[in-house]
Amino acid sequence: MHRFKLSLRFPKSISSSYRAIHDKTQFDNAGPVASVLKSRAVVRFRGPDTVKFLQGLLTNDVRRFGEAVGEKTSTLPTPNLPTASEAPMYAALLTPQGRFLYDFFLYAPPRPDTKLDKTGSGPGPDPDEALELFADVDASVLDELLSTLKKYRLRSKVDIENVAEELYCWQRFGGNLSEKSSSVEEPEAASVGWGAGVDPAGMSASHGGPLGWQWFKDPRLDCLGFRGIFPSNTTPPLVEADKETDEQNYFLWRIENGVAEGSTEIPKGEAIPLEYNLVGLNAISFDKGCYVGQELVARTHHRGVIRKRLLPLRFVKDSGEAEQKVAPGSEVIDSVSEKKVGTITTQLGCRGLGVLRLDEAFKGSNTLKIQGQKDIKVEAIRPHWWPAEWLQEPQHQSAAV
């Protein structure tokens, strides 16, 4: 597939790329960019037991995908699709002990009563079409994930298929993209679609795949931008020819916002979901009933105190930023007490993510160091989307003690 490269003259090195993409004036002037996420793969679930099967496994309430179409949201209209569509969902599959295994972004294709027919003028046929859901998942554990899902399937009437060659996952992010309404930010999109003017080129392109093309607000956080899955043989709509950029830039955007993704950044079989902020990322429902690993998650949540959380970090030295000097797994210590504060989970250039004790992470400046590399200081950053009570929890616990 032909790919256009981003022509913003971002330097190729990771550390320089970080400085370039975070030069606010240059980045805002460039407008939103998009990346195809090669780290993700797409799986299709199809059959009458699809919702029931996933409902018993995943942390979020999948039943809404089986409900009748009501007030659904598509925050970014795209060519020749209805403006009322089911928004995607973020969820996780856990071990029976409540530890993280895999994350899922679930998508429902347009339903027969909302899809346009080939004239672009009304609902399409086939009302008895079997329910389909698509999930974008971590490509590095795809075979293992499929094996796990098929182990749980038993006699459920659901087919599970790897469609990674047919569909790609994309992210559209940057600037103030997510803070604007679709009609203001994408006026050209508002003129195409259900009940509006028809763009013949868009109509032709929209027939390229059974899923159709649609951008949705990222179900985790508005600041992450838009996400979608699209046919692998084309570039999605609203991606300008010079605005496709490397996935590493999206990786940095996530790190800056304190969001981990996939079974490497959220260690498989080890991570406690609430410490990785999955509640704040809309991945967990506490009203849905039982699912695999539900007991530990519910107990931890109702105790109301999370002492450690995943945080965005900056690595610096007296001479400036410490680039490529900190490895995942490194321990963060308090330079005064020499006590362990947490562990680095992800690193890219001078930025990273780590699970740190909140009562130590923010108590003072210039006290956090890397074990064995005491010339490197660690700056913990509170993400802007965090609720205030997350920082008050350790104080409440200390007062109780």
Write the DSSP string, 18-48: HHHHT-HHHHHHH--EEEE-TTEEEEEEEST
Residue 262: predicted pLDDT: 97
Alpha helices in 157-240, H assignment, sequence order: 182-185, 187-190, 200-206
Residue 201: predicted pLDDT: 40
CA gap 132, 112 in Å, rounded: 11
pLDDT per residue of the chain (401 residues) written in tens, 0 to 9:
334 344 343 433 333 333 333 444 344 455 689 999 999 999 999 999 999 999 999 999 999 998 654 444 444 444 444 445 688 999 999 999 999 999 999 999 866 554 444 454 455 445 455 789 999 999 999 999 999 999 999 989 999 999 999 999 999 998 766 454 343 344 333 332 222 333 434 433 333 345 556 889 999 999 999 999 999 988 888 887 778 999 999 999 999 999 999 999 999 999 999 999 999 999 999 999 899 999 999 998 888 789 999 999 999 987 766 666 788 999 999 988 889 999 999 999 899 999 999 999 988 667 899 998 878 899 999 999 999 889 875 554 443 33
Residue 128: predicted pLDDT: 53
Task: Check: CB of residue 312 under 8 Å from CB of residue 257.
Answer: yes
CA gap 113, 111 in Å, rounded: 5
Domains of the chain are: 22-67+85-114+127-178+207-306 (3.30.1360.120), 307-384 (2.40.30.110)
Q: Which residues of 8-25 are buried (b: 16+ CB within 10 A; e: fewer)?
A: bebeeebbebbebbeeee
The type of residue at 26 is Q
What is the distance between the terminal CA atoms of the chain, rounded to a whole angstrom? 60
16: left (phi over 0), alpha (psi -120 to 50) or beta: alpha
Residue 9: predicted pLDDT: 37
Q: Which two tokens stand for residue 33?
A: 């960019």
Q: Which two tokens stand for residue 355?
A: 């699970």
Q: Is 143 helix (H, G, I), strand (E, B) or coil?
A: helix
Task: Check: CB of residue 165 under 8 Å from CB of residue 208.
Answer: no
Question: Is the pTM here over 0.85, yes or no?
Answer: no
**CA–CA–CA angle 52, 54, 55 (5° rounding):** 60
Residue 206: predicted pLDDT: 35
CA gap 202, 108 in Å, rounded: 21
CA gap 370, 330 in Å, rounded: 7
Residue 322: predicted pLDDT: 64
Alpha helices in 220-292, H assignment, sequence order: 247-256, 262-265
Reference 361, options 339, 336, 380, 386; nearest CA is 380
